[in-house]
A and B are shown apart, each in its own frame.
Chain A
């Protein structure tokens, strides 16, 4: 592989604290390679994390980092980017952090088109606290807090972020790391607006075990089997799409981005007597 991204990894922090079979290592590898591909540097990059398994990613990174509170990474990142627009700000959140407790920050950051990139690791449950259901846990799933099958429907989080107005939204599973890296790289390359990449991951320790989805290898196989490219779905019947993971680029549009908009506001204010 052309890019290793190794220069962003703090070697003495390894090995990862994540469970065997966890998808986070794959996503992190895709991220640092995409960062290298886009000529990011330690100095010009700030990685903002929340709390959760994926929120531990900053432990392995030697860029500027902010390890904040549960659900608030996006709001913290908003402040960082606005205060110093020359920085590349990347936010790493899980489905609990980003789609559940921090859901309001997510849709508003997308609506406002804050010029930041979000990589969401979606493993369908809260891994770190013991496998409870989150805002992306599918209906009927068994988790430590849905012993009789989950009674709620899940968010299609990529659709939600797209509807909120984001400049770029893509989704790919960890079963296809090359495409995942490509989407992350495209998100990082985009100059303006809110960029969101949903990485469908696995949690063999909790979600996989509770729902009898097998070991990591089988779960990854499952991701592959259930993936359906977004450009193919228009020919499918609705019932063929249930339980499918619709992968691909949900949207890629040109927007001003909030930084550009606010610079215009500053100009207007300064021209006013």
Chain B
């Protein structure tokens, strides 16, 4: 039983820690389609969910999977799915549907080497932009990325909380290394876990509008079956959920969908710093598996006589530009290790114009090592 594990020190795989986090967060519905290297999350869900009265269903493809979780979410369930980049590619249209109908859902992407089928069992961080801009049209999205198995558990709970709070899809952006890795984790007691649920409408049925505007920008929710009639609508709609193609209405709707996330950046953007001091000269910015070699470098930094700090981005989207600006203010150089040709680095260059930004990039399906980072740091110093 998953409950039996709570409050204990365990040695868990990252994918399993995500699954445990989901159940601890109150998730009771999973629809998915098997894909390496995410399948353990499905195995865990199939085993654990029926035990706690929840539902696991394996759909005919990833398009069906995301559709099913969106439907279940609108019926009131806390829902999630897990896949890898190819699966996200298939889900993309309906990720937009989830944004539009404002269905809380958690999407776990355990990244592998792409493009296409690529290397199914090898790690990558090439989906950084895919999860942000994969679905068409202007929209905003939340993405969190764990770098330890402990964070797999903790950030999955956060992901559900954000999904529920803002009625939006939230990504947990994993990678093959963090997903498949086993590590020590301390599972907190249930009473120490903070859980947030979507805000429910309490008005009279005849006053209810499924997409009513309020100061919070997040409409109050009435699940299917409620006495308040819910009209989920992926097409242009008014506050009552019925079609409305009026340009002013649609402009306002798209802006609200973006603002409800972008205006809450301060709350959503989670991060950690290591050794970031006033006199830090080199700042490493990393997320996911690439945090780990960076941590090893920090530990050895003194040995090289270098003042190196690390900014670990736990929230990738909305992009934490203000946090990056804050910690890079006094540094002389920024190093961005990632298992891609420089996606995170490219996004950072939109905000940092006057400091050299060097990438440590690998796309062969192998992990970045501390030595890889040291090499780039040293090469820069000799210039």
| B75 near A72: Cβ-Cβ < 8 Å | no
| B225 near A86: Cβ-Cβ < 8 Å | yes
Binary flags per residue of A31-50, CB closer than 8 Å to B gives 1, else 0:
00000000000111010100
| A58 near B59: Cβ-Cβ < 8 Å | no
- Docked Cα-Cα span, A10 to B225, in Å, equals 18
Size class of the contact patch on chain B: 35 or more
- Docked Cα-Cα span, A84 to B224, in Å, equals 8
Q: Write the chain B residue with the least CB distance to A71.
A: B63
Report the minimum CB–CB distance from B26 to chain A (whole Å): 13
| A75 near B71: Cβ-Cβ < 8 Å | yes
**Chain B residues closer than 8 Å to A213, beta-carbon distance:** none
Query: Which chain A residues in 54-91 approach chain B with CB under 8 Å?
Result: 58-59, 62-69, 71-72, 75-80, 82-84, 86-87
How many chain A residues touch the partner (CB < 8 A)? 41
**Chain A residues closer than 8 Å to B31, beta-carbon distance:** 78-79
| B64 near A72: Cβ-Cβ < 8 Å | yes
A104 within 8 A of B: yes
Q: Interface SS of chain B: helix, strand, loop or mixed?
A: mixed
**Chain A residues closer than 8 Å to B70, beta-carbon distance:** 68, 76, 79
| B229 near A67: Cβ-Cβ < 8 Å | no
- Docked Cα-Cα span, A175 to B68, in Å, equals 35
A269 within 8 A of B: yes
Count A-B contacts at CB 8 Å.
Answer: 144
Query: Which chain B residues in 46-61 approach chain A with CB under 8 Å?
Result: 47, 50-51, 53, 55, 57, 59-61
- Docked Cα-Cα span, A86 to B224, in Å, equals 10
Report the minimum CB–CB distance from B61 to chain A (whole Å): 7
| B67 near A72: Cβ-Cβ < 8 Å | yes
| B229 near A82: Cβ-Cβ < 8 Å | no
Q: Which of B79, B227, B229 contacts A62 (CB 8 A)?
A: B229
Q: Write the chain B residue with the least CB distance to A263.
A: B50
Q: Given A63-B229, A87-B75, A270-B50, are A82 and B55 also a contact pair (CB < 8 Å)?
A: yes
Given known contacts A80-B224, A84-B225, what 19 new A-B pairs fall within 8 Å (CB)?
A43-B229, A46-B75, A64-B225, A64-B230, A68-B70, A69-B234, A72-B67, A72-B97, A76-B70, A77-B71, A78-B57, A78-B59, A79-B57, A79-B79, A82-B55, A83-B71, A83-B76, A265-B50, A272-B51
Q: Which 5 pairs across A and B sit closest by C-beta, in order of nearness?
A: A79-B71, A75-B67, A79-B68, A83-B72, A269-B50
Give the A-binding residues of B (Cβ under 8 A).
29, 31, 47, 50-51, 53, 55, 57, 59-61, 63-65, 67-77, 79, 93-94, 97, 101, 223-227, 229-235, 241-243
A–B complex contacts, Cβ < 8 Å, 12 sampled = A65-B233, A65-B241, A66-B224, A68-B97, A75-B67, A76-B67, A79-B67, A79-B72, A80-B71, A80-B75, A83-B75, A266-B50
